[in-house]
Amino acid sequence: MLFTEVRGLPVLVPEGGGPVGTVTSLTVDVASGAVSRLRLRRGRFRGETALPWEAVLSVGPGAVRVGSAEAAKSAPVHHELLGHRVLTENGTARGTVLDVAFAPETGRVLAVFTTRGEVPPDRLLGLGDHALVVRTAWAVR
């Protein structure tokens, strides 16, 4: 599944009662190569909150189901991956992030798609305010 397919989906809990929010983005922990948080907006004036990925029961084309929205905390620092600049560890520009493929069951990142090609997850080094940093020797698949 792609990040762009998840953004905007309603977040539902098993008890029903309607959506508890809408997905705004996913946070990636580059070190583990997996999604670490589901970020959601609970309403116009309630701000953004974040759930740990472990709270996610399923991700489908129509909704994201979570075990409980009670685990939601105020959103920690987040660097948006989509649209981020890509730099090698030597500082060479390698395009911009277009999308990220991930396994919805585990949150594991499968590939990062950039304007210059596909970056395998084992080539990711860091993500900050300025850019996604990748190993110099990444090959376009």
Burial of 93-102, coded b for 16+ CB within 10 Å and e otherwise, reads ebeebbebbb
The closest alpha carbon to 55, from 2, 103, 107, 16, belongs to 107
Q: Could you report the per-residue pLDDT of 95-136, keeping only the tens digit for each?
A: 999 999 999 999 999 999 999 999 999 999 999 888 999 998
Q: 5-9, 25-29, 46-50, 80-84: which range is least confident on average?
A: 46-50
Residue 75 is predicted with a pLDDT of 55
Q: Could you report the per-residue pLDDT of 20-73, keeping only the tens digit for each?
A: 899 999 999 998 999 999 999 887 666 788 889 998 999 998 999 998 777 666
Residue 141 is predicted with a pLDDT of 46
Residue 15 is predicted with a pLDDT of 76
- The CB-side HSE value for 51 (13 A sphere, CA atoms) comes to 26
Residue 9 is predicted with a pLDDT of 96
Token code pair at residue 15: 């008890």
Residue 53 neighbours by CB under 8 Å, 6+ apart: 34, 35, 36, 37, 38, 107
